[in-house]
Structure 1
Amino acid sequence: MIADSRKNNFNIIRFVAAMMVVLGHMCHLIAVDVSLFLGQAVSTIGVKIFFLISGYLIAQSFLNDSNIFRYAVRRIFRIIPGLIGVVLFAVFVVGPVFTVLPVSEYFANGMTWSYLKNIALYVQYFLPGVFEANPYPNAINGSLWTLPVEVMMYVAVPVIFLLFRKGNKVVIAGVLAVVLEIANLAIGKFRPDAFYVIYGTDMVSALSIIPYFFLGIVFLSSKVKKYLNLQLAIGILCIAEMMNFSSLKSEIMVFVVLPYFIFSFAFAEEPKFVKCFSKNDFSYGLYLYGFVIQQVIVKILWEYQLTLNVYFVICACATTVFGMLSWFLVERPAQRLAKKILKSERVAKLGKFDITKIE
């Protein structure tokens, strides 16, 4: 029997996924071999876990309340305030402190103000004169590229559910996941250097994670959940980790094995981590601040020739602090404001339509 969907291990999974992203990025930022899990960079697996969980929770939220305006308010106030915080932190704190330019020149440079486009989800990676001498030079926050993709999925959920109002949402989501994954595999096989940018986002890279969002929706079905088994999932995961597959076979394996393990763990009987971060969710803040804080720490400590493990521990602790600050100072107040807005009777009456529930 699978645990009640309201009692799950999602919060601890998101925290671990955020730390996987920190570890994976740490390898790049100090120029060492990238840590792998299931044949892929551990940070890549972390991002795919985020999209799996996001697909499940976002679709569930929309099914519970299909008021378009209320849905939009919840999504905007969940993602944008934290993003604004980290972008302003980079421009007005990290930039002036670490740029090799005089501060007056830094603020006179158009690239500085162009970085603010990140708030509008138009991804910009550089600030003038910042981190130029780092082992991974110039990049301020490489994590931001996934946020436009996430917002695309926020838009896709109500659009798809409206277009297929009377259809089986699980089947539709599953078909989309498989079709998009086949397209991703085909590009990786025949056009590995493909690069197609729309609004500052590489859509080829986006295609590598979008299928996982739709896979997450599949697990809303009780008919799918009944096949989840944590012991079996752990066994399959261990066997998969021991295999040495090509990149193509590894991607197929991850597509099959990772969702089954994540949701088996999330809905395990008597979930032991249900209370972890139940009131305070730091995972988004960890994800937002990880890369930039890591670059700062590498800049400060590079001359000491620290090992990967030491860097990771230091950066994990520092990023957790900033994740907590983001939650308490920005994200939680923003969510409280969103709740006040949602109490408006005018908002409650707008944008409502009926949809078929997932069984």
Structure 2
Amino acid sequence: MDSRRNNFDALRLLFAAMVIFSHSFALAGQAEPVIWNRTLGNLGVHGFFIISGFLIAQSYQRSGSLFKYGTNRFLRIVPGLVVALIVSSLIAARLHNFVHNPVPYISNGPVWTLAWEVICYAAIAVLGIVGALSRTTFPAVFAVAWVLYLANIGNGSDFFLAIVPLFLMFAAGALFALYLTEIRIELLVLALIGLALTAHFGVFTYVDQLVVGHIPFLYGPVVTPEEVLRVIYIASFPVVVIWVGKLARPSVRITNDVSYGAYIYGWPVAQVLVFFALKWSIPLNPYLVFVTTMIITLPLAFVSWRLIEKPALSLKRRFQKVSTTKEPEAEPELSEPLAVDGLTVA
């Protein structure tokens, strides 16, 4: 594999657009589009965590020290986030905290997920320190995580349904980072079939209820067809994302990484558009909100990348001693995860 040829930039931009599209419905007071029994925004979040797990596991292995790893992560997330939070807070205060919007008071809802991203970063560091982030030991960690997940499959809490899958997606990305040389076509086909089963299209819905609903889970928790399909989805989606991102050809190269900026500015821009639409008695059309949000957000994301995020990343050498030996060129460290739908508007 050529380490510089991948589709991760394009995928991240696609996932960012999916989240903005999904939130355009929520912020306009309508139900978000659903596929694979989850909103498009939730799907985009999972994609971001998969890619993040893949890149961050490699980043830790390249870093050489915990200080360098932590510095890299800080410079990638914090500067752009601080500016975005200041801007969105000032705008919200100016516009009465969007009190009359369908989703009031929340000026930048998606950013709370960054806390869980940081926890994933910390987990990678801990695993690396104890020697568990290797080809021989990490599969056991991954297996234990899945056993714990399956043992609690009937848990209906928000944490289990929304946060735990993020950890599993991130862990799957890290596993591929350690083991990926190729994804056999048989595995890809099985993953695609799994996603088709979880999409609830046509006859698959009937098959799910007929077959899965009659599996006798003896002496165990009552497992519904929806829970079985959720497991299939969580196991299948990372395979497809990594295959498209790393192995599919041709690869699409995007020079400027605007996906993180789209993440931190998409929600505030949409909130402002909804505010003025209501003020001027313009009907709220989520499709129009999405298109207008993208037209405004992408230039903002470009400015954020060129003036804040990229210059911040250039500060790495000020915090670290430059090695006397030339290190292999690393893949660009790109976006961070997006929001989990539902909880962002709760």
Give the Å deviation of 1:228: 5.3
Contact 1:180 1:211 in 2 (8 A): no
Counterparts of residues 246-261 of structure 1 (less than 5 Å): 247-261=226-240
CA distance change for structure 1 residues 70 and 231 in 2, over 3 Å: closer, same or farther? closer
Contact 2:24 2:287 in 1 (8 A): no
Residue aligning to 1:171: 139
Aligned AA for 2:233? V
Give the Å deviation of 1:253: 2.6
Alignment of 1:270 onto 2:246: no
Residue aligning to 1:296: 272
Give the Å deviation of 1:42: 0.7
Residue aligning to 2:63: 65
Give the Å deviation of 1:231: 7.1
Give the Å deviation of 1:221: 3.7
Counterparts of residues 316-327 of structure 1 (less than 5 Å): 316-327=294-305
Task: Give me the identity figure in percent.
Answer: 28
TM-score, L = length of structure 2: 0.78
Residue aligning to 1:206: 163
Alignment of 1:160 onto 2:157: no
CA distance change for structure 1 residues 180 and 304 in 2, over 3 Å: closer, same or farther? farther
Distance 1:183 1:25 in 2: 33
Distance 1:183 1:339 in 2: 46
Distance 1:152 1:164 in 2: 18
Counterparts of residues 174-253 of structure 1 (less than 5 Å): 174-179=142-147, 181-182=149-150, 185-188=153-156, 192=157, 205-222=162-179, 225-227=182-184, 232=189, 237-238=195-196, 240-241=198-199, 242=201, 243-244=204-205, 247-253=226-232
Residue aligning to 2:290: 312
Give the Å deviation of 1:226: 3.5
CA distance change for structure 1 residues 256 and 83 in 2, over 3 Å: closer, same or farther? same
Residue aligning to 1:13: 11
Q: Paired residue for 1:95, among 72, 92, 96? A: 92
Residue aligning to 1:4: 2
Larger deviation, residues 202-211 vs 76-85: 202-211
Residue aligning to 1:197: none
Q: Deviations over 1:189-227 (max 9, x none)?
A: xxx4x6xxxxxxx68743231111111111124467332
CA distance change for structure 1 residues 223 and 77 in 2, over 3 Å: closer, same or farther? closer
Alignment of 1:287 onto 2:263: yes
Distance 2:187 2:265 in 1: 32
CA distance change for structure 1 residues 135 and 227 in 2, over 3 Å: closer, same or farther? same
Give the Å deviation of 1:169: 4.2
CA distance change for structure 1 residues 185 and 315 in 2, over 3 Å: closer, same or farther? farther
SS in 2 for 1:7: coil
CA distance change for structure 1 residues 207 and 222 in 2, over 3 Å: closer, same or farther? closer
- Alpha-carbon RMSD: 2.6
SS in 2 for 1:136: coil
Contact 1:228 1:263 in 2 (8 A): no
Q: Deviations over 1:42-62 (max 9, x none)?
A: 101111111111111000111
Question: Relative contact order (C-alpha < 8 Å, sep 6+): which is higher?
Answer: 2
Query: Which structure 1 residue ranges, 5 or more long, are not aligned?
Result: 100-129, 195-201, 347-359
Query: Which structure 2 residue ranges, 5 or more long, are not aligned?
Result: 209-224, 325-346
CA distance change for structure 1 residues 228 and 169 in 2, over 3 Å: closer, same or farther? farther
Distance 1:75 1:340 in 2: 15
